[in-house]
Chains A and B, each alone.
Chain A
Amino acid sequence: AQKVTQAQTEISVVEKEDVTLDCVYETRDTTYYLFWYKQPPSGELVFLIRRNSFDEQNEISGRYSWNFQKSTSSFNFTITASQVVDSAVYFCALSERYSGNTPLVFGKGTRLSVIA
């Protein structure tokens, strides 16, 4: 069975601090995709990144970076020099199967509050 665990329910940081959001997943498949989504107070889920199980290279996009480690089944998300606009709930998600589409299995989310 698939499962995504985001152990951090809430995190609060001061602006300009770095923060890492943890994500641990379980799957019996050898091919799968991992995702991160952001849900700001407005409510819409915003897609941030997709990573397939064959690509363990870290990825950086501006202040965002992702660390994928198959050995520990983790896909952690780091925000560098956090800003108030980063305040949101962040969801990690998993989908199995390499071709075609399947529904996402989401973690419970981590609520990040960045304080000015």
Chain B
Amino acid sequence: GAGVSQSPSNKVTEKGKDVELRCDPISGHTALYWYRQSLGQGLEFLIYFQGNSAPDKSGLPSDRFSAERTGGSVSTLTIQRTQQEDSAVYLCASSLVSGQGNQPQHFGDGTRLSIL
């Protein structure tokens, strides 16, 4: 499809394991964002990529979280040594970049991560 694609849809893993979440943005969108949605915390920004610029990592909650964006397209969010508080829905969004201000972000369906 033409929308933002995230995989897997659901991930269940044991505490302490590493997980990788994937995001394939809309073709032509140079801006890519990761957010986390959890009960009681709402939607929280994690990290932002734009073109070849250094990513904005200001929202990452700890050094166990990292993300890459290869070739300016697909992005992978990695969580190392997962903890139960990492359980949440991880949402990826992409947008165009223009000189006319913040363009709407288009979201994927998310990855529901459950840490046992």
Contact = CB atoms under 8 A, between A and B. Distances in A.
Interface stretch (A64-72, A79-87, A102-110): A102-110
Interface in B41-84: 42-43, 45, 48, 50, 56, 59
Interface in A9-38: 33, 35, 37
Given A35-B104, A47-B104, A97-B102, A103 B110 contact: no
B56 A103 contact: yes
A91 B43 contact: yes
B107 A44 contact: yes
Chain B interface size, as a band, is 20 to 34
B97 interface: yes
A61 interface: no
A100 B96 CA distance: 10
A57 interface: no
B45 to A, nearest CB: 4
A50 interface: yes
Contacts of B89: 43
A47 B101 contact: no
Interface in A42-61: 42-47, 50, 52
A104 B107 contact: no
A47 B3 CA distance: 12
B42 A108 contact: yes
A108 B91 CA distance: 15
B107 A45 contact: yes
Contact of A101 (B31, B59, B106, B109): B31
Contact of B102 (A37, A45, A95, A107): A95
B42 A109 contact: yes
15 contacts: A42-B109, A43-B89, A43-B109, A43-B110, A44-B107, A44-B108, A44-B110, A47-B105, A50-B102, A99-B100, A101-B102, A103-B56, A103-B59, A104-B43, A108-B42
Given A43-B110, A100-B102, A106-B42, 16 more contacts: A33-B102, A42-B109, A43-B109, A45-B91, A46-B107, A50-B104, A52-B101, A97-B101, A98-B101, A99-B99, A103-B35, A103-B45, A103-B59, A104-B45, A107-B42, A109-B43
